[in-house]
Amino acid sequence: MNHHIFYLLQHWLAHKDEGQWLLATVIKTRGSAYRKAGAMMLFSDSGNQFGVVSGGCLESDLFHHARKCWLSGQSRTVTYDMQEEGDVAWRLGIGCGGEVTLLLQPLTADNNYLQLPDVVSELQSHRSVVLSHCICGAANQIKLSASNDAKHWFTHRLTPPQSLFIGGGGVDAVPVADIAARLGWQVTVNDERARYARSADFHAAYRCHSLTSDQLPDNTQYHQAGAIIIMHHQVGLDAKMLATIAQCPPKGLRYLAVLGPGHRTQRVLDEAGIQPADLPVALHSPAGFNIGGELPESIALSMLAQAHAVLHQKPLEQAGEPW
């Protein structure tokens, strides 16, 4: 199971009435920590754990604190100091050298599961959600709005999974879809040609379509795309899709790449009748970083590493070199 909060909550939702559940949220860190503020996980009294808030070091100890929450029905905060020799974190041998504070909140039907079913619904509709957790005393409350009272509320934002739209459903698109899905991205593969972009070949894809480029502006997954990789291995099809992106770009598009060498991409641009400046974002071509390797899996890794850096606003000159 992927550790993106959407998938964790979605999986939990199907089991929410099976025993007692607890939500653990990192609300503060200082120094080195495996997860930062806003990280969340869920676990039950039967031993189920969805997600991580450490490298697996703290979860067993958190379970003992969870028992107290289940008995009282109230939330509590727990702090682990990886620098203090007398602290349990030191005895667990974590060695990160930082400090992390977590808020533990019981999830019950009486408290409407802290509105987490509504959070799932919003993320499923590809909308971000702002959560504010009450951290004052033993109060057990979450509201789906921001709070300016940092003393009594911890506020953070949950975003839906990244969306990748792959134009081209050939054999080398399969590892792109597989690796992206493993990252927790929602992957859509589209190819108007027969025997391409078949669901039987793309098990990890969220959707497979056979739309023409003219039909893309009417497709929901196209408009949700934060990243698009064009890899039809056919200049005409690549050109049509690039022209569509120039004319009707997805609102949240941040990464756009065309597979192949630079001189081929120039042919694609010429056939599309556009210039790079006509596109909504920078066009990455050749797509990916020069990490070595010639097989489809290596090329997929290089493209997704570049897309990941762009989507997370990391300087590309620090992340890697282009081909």
List Cβ neighbours of 198 (8 Å cut-off, separation of 6 or more): 169, 208
For the domain covering 163-319, report its CATH number. 3.40.50.720
Alpha helix stretches (DSSP H) within the chain? 5-13, 59-72, 88-91, 116-124, 173-182, 220-224, 235-247, 262-272, 296-311, 316-319
**Domain coordinates of the chain in residue numbers?**
5-158, 163-319
In the prediction, which pLDDT does 270 show? 98
Q: What is the pLDDT of residue 254?
A: 97
What does pLDDT average to in each consecutive run of 10 residues of the chain (323 residues)? 87 93 94 87 90 77 88 91 58 62 94 95 94 88 93 95 97 97 96 95 96 97 98 98 98 96 97 97 95 92 97 75 55
**Predicted local distance difference test score (pLDDT) of residue 97:** 63
Q: Report the pLDDT value the prediction gives residue 93, as an integer from 0 to 100.
A: 47
DSSP-derived 3-state class of residue 224: helix
What's this model's pTM, rounded to 2 decimal places? 0.86
Tokens of 284: 């990455």
CA proximity to 176, closest of 43, 288, 50? 288
| Residue 39, token pair as written in the block | 């990280």
CA–CA separation, 34 and 94 (whole Å): 10
113 sits in the region (left: phi over 0; alpha: psi -120 to 50; else beta) called left
Q: How far apart are CA 38 and CA 192, in angstroms?
A: 41
Helix (H, G, I), strand (E, B) or coil at 44: strand
**pLDDT recorded at residue 83:** 67
pLDDT at position 246 is 98
Give the integer Cα–Cα distance in Å for 79 and 100: 6
Beta carbons of 164 and 226 less than 8 angstroms apart: yes
